[in-house]
Amino acid sequence: MLTIVPTPIGNRQDITLRALEALQAADVVAAEDTRHSGMLLQHLGIKKPFVSLHEHNEAARVEELAARMASGTKIALITDAGMPGISDPGHRLIKSCIERGLPVTVLPGPSAVITALVGSGFPTDRFFFGGFLPVKSGRRANEIALAAARSETSIYFESPHRIERTLEALHAACPDRPVCVARELTKTFEEYRRGLPAEVLAHFQKHPPKGEITLVISADGKKRKPDVEDREA
């Protein structure tokens, strides 16, 4: 049996009761970074054997873990923060278990994507999540152009070292589109910086950001399709 266990994205108090139960019941914990996750489990008072599962070994590790689960081993999958499989390892293992008919349970829990979306104040009824923005400037510019043309709210992960260049590209592509930079979510120095791209850029040019960043780009209100209630009115 495989249990997908989301872990806190910053504040360790955000661990859920079901997550604690799943970790305690597991025979083995598959973790993206065993040292990082070891500190979390130590904080939670849980001691379990670990096996590493990260982007560089997931493809090779799937067969081993699936065979262990087929023989009755209960495995809990966690990543460094948030929901496994969302811009983190896990997809291949989950897919393999489903194809083999092995039971998979997914627990709800912390997610930087949903936290940033709700905290941005932008429309939440329809949204697009694009993972990490491309590192290369050309591909990043193409992705930003797609976001500018989109009628839904767009969400991306971005590095603090590249956020200024990304905001510059947003200013060039859609200067009147509000954005929100959600930084260090649930942590001591949590920050939501909202405004037009140029306004948010000016702030971070004076106060260089640190930590993990989730970028939210508001939907284009002019391109949004009317809701069913609006069409029926």
Distances (CA, A) of 64 to 4, 59, 94, 224: 17, 10, 13, 47
3-state SS, one letter per residue, for 65-85 = HHHHHHCCCCEEEECCCECCC
Spell out the domains of the chain, with CATH numbers in brackets.
Answer: 2-106 (3.40.1010.10), 112-217 (3.30.950.10)
What pLDDT sits at residue 119? 97
Sheet holding 28-31, edge to edge: 50-52, 28-31, 75-78, 2-4, 104-106
What pLDDT sits at residue 178? 97
Average pLDDT over residues 168-196: 96
**Residue 60 pLDDT > 70:** yes
What pLDDT sits at residue 224? 53
Q: What is the pLDDT of residues 3-40, one digit of tens each?
A: 999 999 999 999 999 999 999 999 999 999 999 999 99
Give 41-50 contacts, CB < 8 A, sequence gap 24+: 43/12, 44/12, 44/15, 44/20, 46/20, 48/23, 48/76
What pLDDT sits at residue 165? 95
Q: What is the pLDDT of residues 81-109, one digit of tens each?
A: 999 999 888 999 999 999 999 999 999 99
**230 φ, ψ (degrees, to nearest 5):** -65, -40
Q: Which residue has the higher pLDDT, 224 or 162?
A: 162
Q: What percent of the chain is modeled with pLDDT above 90?
A: 89
Closest to 7 (Cα-Cα) out of 91, 85, 74, 79: 79
